[in-house]
Amino acid sequence: MYGTMITSMLAIAATGAALMAGVYFAFSCFIMAAFAEMGSARGAEAMNSINRVILRSAFMVVFFGSTLLYTILGTIAVFDVGLANRWLLVLTSVLYVAGMFVCTVVFNVPPNNQLASVNGGRANSDELWPHYLAHWTRWNHARALSSLLTLVLSGFLLVANS
């Protein structure tokens, strides 16, 4: 059975994973498709606007907070040999941190920065936009799936250890 601290941390982290899965799911299912329909200049402008606004939003608290919680939980599980389902908690934590956080930093943020450097120039956005859409969306699918699987595994851990 998990202690109150671990259970609380896991429940909060799972809520964060759920929120992240929802955001990424929305982008994968319809937001990026809508931006694609807008054309390269308008689509790039809309995405750049989101990328600027998101940095000043509650999204960042959830993004970094859930990553921190899963990092702490995974570390506790590695060292607490008496913790029930410890290796599943380690796997869950690694899945989230690697599949959501690292994926974002390595595969989604650099194209966002490249898109921001276009500054609405139509010729540059016409060239960059199709590649950006395909690459960014592919990795966003990975983030959505990682966050969703993390949520499912976290739910299992909460139920199994209550």
pLDDT at 2: 80
- Summarised one tens digit per residue, pLDDT across range 104-131 is 999 999 999 999 988 655 557 788 999 9
The count of structural domains within the chain is 1
DSSP 1-15: ---HHHHHHHHHHHH
Listed as ranges, residues in the chain with pLDDT below 50 are none
Q: Are 71 and 102 in contact (CB under 8 A)?
A: no
pLDDT of residue 66: 98
pTM of the complete model beyond 0.85: yes
Q: How many residues does the chain have?
A: 162
Domain that holds residue 70: 4-160
